[in-house]
Amino acid sequence: MSDNNDNNRPAKRKKPSIKTNDSRFAGKIDKKKPSPSKKKSFSKSSSSEFKKSDEKKPFVKTGYPKRDDSKPFEKTGYPKRDDKRDFKKRDDNKFSKKPNTFTRKPFAEKIEDAEPTDPNAPVRLAKIMSERAMCSRREAISLIEQGYVFVNGERIEETGNKFDRDIKIQISSPGRKILAQKYTVIVNKPVGYVSHADDDNKYPTVASLITDSRQMPFTAGVKDAKDLIQGLAPAGRLDIDSKGLIVLTQNGVVAKQLIGEYTKVTKEYVVKVKGHMVENGIELLNHGLSLDGKELKPAEVDWMGNDVLKFVLREGKKRQIRRMCELVGLKVISLRRVRIGRVKIGKLKEGYWRILEPHEKF
């Protein structure tokens, strides 16, 4: 029975043998593959390309050597300075800079529409007007833009036009009025500023305060404060240790009115003093003192408080009030000018300026 069953069973199919001439597969193709559990682990070193290492090398830790606390600590770095050594003098020629051989091109060469060097070539109208002393370039540009300039009877409104130097230039009556207008500025001078510039320029001048940022708000002004400084000169003086109202003007008539020998414009000061005045000090301050061998003009001096005097003068000598107070036993602590003629300092803050209005007269 068993024999019949065995005969009925299908015969096992044999795997075909692969024949090859490659020596690498000799004796390996017909072998059975090992099971996953019994799979041998092959390393790279087992192949013919790598050498097999039978011995295990001990682990060696790399890095800085261990610190030996038994040895004393030695500080490394630069050698100790020997103060006894001799220093050699430096050769200045060795460290001297090489001369700068770079030469910058003139600015005119970088501009396409720069004025030509040929004197007979056409040039801008504003330059011709400044060369003829009619006005400055800034003023000429402003007049041209407003249409107040005529060339050979034709109105010119563009500043970029160029003309020959022998042209006939005329300025209309509104333009002449603009040029004839002269500005007068009042400044609240702080302590530390001088009225006129000295040769050494040690101290800042009052004119340096004429900037756009220091103009009194909500008052008449100009487009650019730099244009206002041109031709602006102080009419009178105020010591560096004094503060208060000072006038700068472009008008010679106004300057002569304020600083002329026969001026009738009065100036008012508030002076804080200390010390003990002589018995008839107030009378002497009003009239009776002399400076530099000349008798002073009558003044109006009176007490405003315990240590504050009010001075009204009709002349202005160098440090006049300080020297007058010294003659009567007083010393000036602070001095402030508050009025010149009919113009008062008002709400003008210290260090600020404003243009004098047309209706304001000294």
Instruction: With cut-offs at 50, 70 and 90, classify the pLDDT of residue 202.
Output: confident
Residue type for position 113 = D
2 within a domain of the structure (yes/no): no
Residues 319 and 302 in one domain: yes
pLDDT tens digits along 161-191? 889 888 999 999 888 887 767 788 999 999 9
Is residue 103 predicted with pLDDT exceeding 60? no
Cβ neighbours of 183 (radius 10 Å): 19
Burial tier of 290 (Cβ tally within 10 Å: 0-12, 13-18, 19+): exposed
Looking up residue 159, the CATH number of its domain turns out to be 3.10.290.10
Claim to verify: residue 203 and residue 174 sit in the same structural domain: no
Establish if 336 belongs to a structural domain.
yes
Domain annotation covers residue 203? yes
Among the candidates 129, 148, 180, a domain finishes at 180
Give the pair of three-digit tokens for residue 235: 């009419």
Domain end residue (candidates: 161, 180, 199): 180
Q: How many structural domains does the chain have? A: 3
On whether residue 189 sits in a domain, the answer given is: yes
Domain range enclosing 205: 184-260+347-355
- 239 and 351 together in one domain: yes
Residue 320 lies in a domain: yes
Could you tell me the two tokens for 190?
A: 């702080």
Tokens matching residue 167:
């042209």
Q: What is the DSSP string of 254-287?
A: HHHHHHSTT----EEEEEEEEE---TTHHHHHHT
Q: Which of 326, 297, 337 is nearest to 314 (CA)?
A: 297
Which candidate, 92, 102, 265, 248, places its Cα nearest to that of 183? 248
Average pLDDT over residues 248-275: 83
250 and 351 in a common domain: yes
Residue 117 is which amino acid?
T
- The residue behind tokens 């060795």 is 94
- Global pTM exceeds 0.75: no
% pLDDT > 70, the chain: 63
Both tokens of 216, joined, read: 């009194």
Helical (H) or strand (E) element with 141: helix 137-146
351 & 242 share domain: yes
Q: In which residue are the tokens 């630069």 written?
A: 78
Contact 236, 195 (CB under 8 A): yes
Residue 32 lies in a domain: no
DSSP code per residue over 177-190: HHHH---EEEEEEP
Phi, psi of 109 (to 5 degrees): -75, -15
Identify whether residues 212 and 280 lie together within a single domain: no
SS3 92: helix
**pLDDT per position as a tens digit, 224-247:** 677 777 778 888 889 899 999 999
Please identify, among 145, 180, 215, the residue that sits at the C-terminal boundary of a domain. 180
Check whether 150 has a pLDDT greater than 80. Answer: yes
Q: Is pLDDT above 60 for 97?
A: no
Residue 296: count other Cβ atoms within 10 Å of its Cβ: 20
CATH of residue 351: 3.30.70.580
Separation in Å, CA 227 to CA 127, 216, 223, 231? 17, 17, 8, 9
Taking phi over 0 as left and psi of -120 to 50 as alpha, with beta for the rest, 358 belongs to alpha
Instruction: Looking at the structure, tell me whether residues 254 and 217 fall in a common domain.
Output: yes
In a domain, 237, yes or no: yes
Q: Please, what is the Cα angle at 244 between 241 and 249, to 5 degrees?
A: 110
Both 327 and 306 in one domain: the answer is yes
- Residue 80 structure tokens: 């100790």
**What pLDDT does 72 receive?**
61
Which is more confidently placed, 75 or 262? 262
* CATH code of 287's domain: 3.30.70.1560
Q: What's residue 259's pLDDT? A: 81
- Write down the mean pLDDT value for the chain: 76
> Confidence band (pLDDT; 50, 70, 90) for 9?
low
Same domain, yes or no: 176 and 189: no
115 occurs within a structural domain: no
Q: Which residue has the higher pLDDT, 315 or 118?
A: 315
Q: What is the pLDDT of residue 62?
A: 64
Instruction: Out of 180-184, 195-199, 212-216, pick the least confident.
Output: 195-199
